[in-house]
Structure formats: C-alpha cells, structure tokens
Amino acid sequence: MVDDIHNYSTFTAQHLSEALKLKDYKTSIVICEELELQSSLQGQPFEYYTLYFFLLLLQNERNLAHFLWKRCPYAQREPRMLTLREIALALSREDYKTAFSLCQTTDWQELNEVAHDFLEVWKTRLIQKLQLTYTFISVDDCCRYLGINREEWIAIAKPYWHMEGEYVFLNEKRVETEEEEEEESTTIVDPLETWTRQWIGLAKHGEL
C-alpha cells in the first residue's frame, strides 16, 4: 500500500488519509507538502496546517515546523494549532513536562491518534537519549527530564533495567530470577521495542 502511494506524482487528500491509516508519517509529511503547494498554485486555502504542524513535531522536524507556522495565515491558526505552537516552544526549551501535559489535556478530535503517537515517539526518543548520555541517573532526574511522574517511570524502568535505591543503571539490563523466567511465556524485549512495537510504519531506531 505504501509503495502504491509513492507511485503517484500528484497527491490527493485520499492519499493522505491512506498514509495516516498506515501510520506512515514521513509519507504523510511529503503529501502535506505537496497539497500545500497545490493549494498555493490554485489560490485556495490549505486545509491541513494543523495536521502538518503536528506531524513535523512528531518527527522532530522543528525547524520546518517553525517555518510552517510563519507562513500559515493568521485566519487559519485555529486553537489546536496555537496549542501546537506552545508545545513546539516547550520542546525547544526541553520542557517536556509542559509539552506532554499540553498534548494530553487537549482534545485533538480527529488527530487524537496522532497525539497518542506523538507522546509515545517522544518518550521513546528521550529514553534513547538518556541511554546514550548517562550510565546511571536518579529516578527524580528521569522524571523531570521525561515529564512523567515517579510511578510511571518506575513502571517503565523496573522490569528492564537494574535499579539500586533511587538510581537506575541505564546500561545494565535487569537480571531475572529463575522464578520470574519460569513464569514468563514470552521473552522480555528491550523497553524501547515494547514502546514502539505497536506502531505501524515507525521503525525502532531509524524512523525516530
């Protein structure tokens, strides 16, 4: 299906809908770009500024999102797009708690699934960054950085990483007891895979 989408030289709203159903967000961005250009050439308003902005933030294309905001007519900066602007500013400050809170408390209507994937992709991205940056880190620092509460972070970390007191050792996998191994019917995978395996079209590393 994705290959069929790429074969079209001129995209339509139907192609965008198909790409979104597949969660192929990179292709969705390309289609939005094409549709925006078509609208400009035809002298018609572009209908997908909010979606386009959201997808760029999801893919961490913040420079492109900034220029999209600049060229979006004031009349089309609907409330959800204003919220996305606040999210973009929070991301630029690395204020992830604010960014995630804004995303979670906003009614995105038809974009609710994109909002869900935005949160999952960004949390996964930040955990990857933590693993590359720190050997160990305190639970409280993790919570501040990821913008999540203590209980949520412990639930994420405890099954997979070695913990001692208030510290998580991000480069040490947790060793299971024999009893735990016997209880499991499937193999525990890396936590990043657990976070991302539900997404169609988003690779574990390359797409993030």
Q: How many other C-beta atoms are found inside a 10 Å radius of the C-beta of residue 4?
A: 9
Residues with Cβ within 8 Å of residue 134, at least 6 apart in sequence: 170
Please report the pLDDT score of residue 107 as a whole number. 97
Residues with Cβ within 8 Å of residue 51, at least 6 apart in sequence: 28, 32, 111, 114
- The predicted-structure confidence for 119-172, as pLDDT tens digits, reads as follows 999 988 988 888 888 888 888 888 888 888 888 877 777 666 777 878 888 765
**What is the spatial distance between Cα 38 and Cα 46, in angstroms, rounded to a whole number?**
9
User: Is residue 87 within 8 Å of residue 102, measured between CB atoms?
Assistant: yes
- The predicted-structure confidence for 51-108, as pLDDT tens digits, reads as follows 999 999 999 999 999 999 999 999 999 999 999 999 999 999 999 999 999 999 999 9
- The predicted-structure confidence for 171-198, as pLDDT tens digits, reads as follows 655 444 445 455 544 444 444 444 444 3
- Whole-prediction pTM value? 0.75
Please report the pLDDT score of residue 49 as a whole number. 98
**What is the spatial distance between Cα 72 and Cα 103, in angstroms, rounded to a whole number?**
21
